[in-house]
Amino acid sequence: MREVRYREALREAMAEEMRRDPTVCLMGEEVGYYQGAYKVTQGLLEEFGDQRVIDTPIAEAGFSGIAVGAAMTGLRPIVEFMTWNFSLVAFDQIVNNAAKMHQMSGGQLSVPVVFRGPNASARQVGSQHSHAVEPFYTNVPGLYVVYPSTPRDAKGLLKTAIRSNNPVVFLEGETLYNSKGEVPDEEELIPFGEARVAREGTDCTVVTWGRPYVSVMKVVEELAAEGVSCEVIDPRTLRPLDHGTIVESVKKTHRCVVVHEHWPYGGPGAEIVDRVQREAFDYLDAPVLRATNLDVPMPYALHLESEVVVTEARVRDTIRKACYLD
């Protein structure tokens, strides 16, 4: 095992797959000569050349459509959105073309394309650049939706995504790029639909992904010192969702808290609550609770932004409430 940053793990995954398969190519705004807005693609242009690492115009709908067409005709494109907020311009290409082409062609066409880039809020980027888009895309049959929380999962899941014959929405935590973690020296492909038990516990199951994962791991360690044992489940893929691992954990702990960065109305957070109450109702000793962003557009002012995002204090209070400690 060796320690790498989240962005480096993503870069390694792309480079290894591009070396392995000449049909894998990369396109997006500033992925080449600028080395990527977050330096995830640094060095790829030098190694693979401008026929496989392609700087595009600022036209998300255009280059997403080109990628879908290229995937239908034999290539395996990776599309980088400078931020997933900009994918809303390409929503039609992702939802109406990439996700549906296999079904509409009666299985004759596949669309092996990966759409990837930073998701959710950063710091003071305003309401139009702070969307957590997983509720939008998890609602669409035909798409895989992946959201790694650690460098190891980022690398292993991205390699799996690139080899998939189906379109993948690959969400990366915008504030996770500099985080460090261990990755194995040998090749590892992490399958879709298998959650990871990040921490074992007995008193409360906490389900989380993306940036809030870091806050949750810190909070549950603090609560452990108070005698509260939390089991942390990271779904890793939100579509397909490994509800079985979550339900089995809840059957053991009898309580469940879901922590996520998107708005509280709908989305995978609400889906997890629904699955738990349907499949583990008789095991619950308390209502399933959620800690989320507030249900408002993201403010620009830092002191207001810090109140809107899901905070460690909100996570702690929610877990304590689920355990009837407050």
List residues with catalytic annotation.
60, 129
Question: Closest Cα to residue 150, out of 6, 41, 255, 284?
Answer: 6
Question: Closest Cα to residue 4, out of 140, 189, 178, 170?
Answer: 178
Question: Which residue is it, tokens 């939100």?
Answer: 238
Give the chain's end-to-end CA distance (angstroms, integer): 41
Distance in angstroms (rounded) separating the CA atoms of residues 163 and 154: 14
Three-state SS annotation for 50-117: CCCEEECCCCHHHHHHHHHHHHHCCCEEEEECCCHHHHHHHHHHHHHHHCCHHHHCCCCCCCCCEEEE
| 287 cis-preceded (ω within 30 degrees of 0) | no
The secondary structure of residue 42, as a DSSP letter, is T
Asked if residue 158 lies in contact with residue 10, where contact means CB atoms within 8 angstroms, the answer is yes
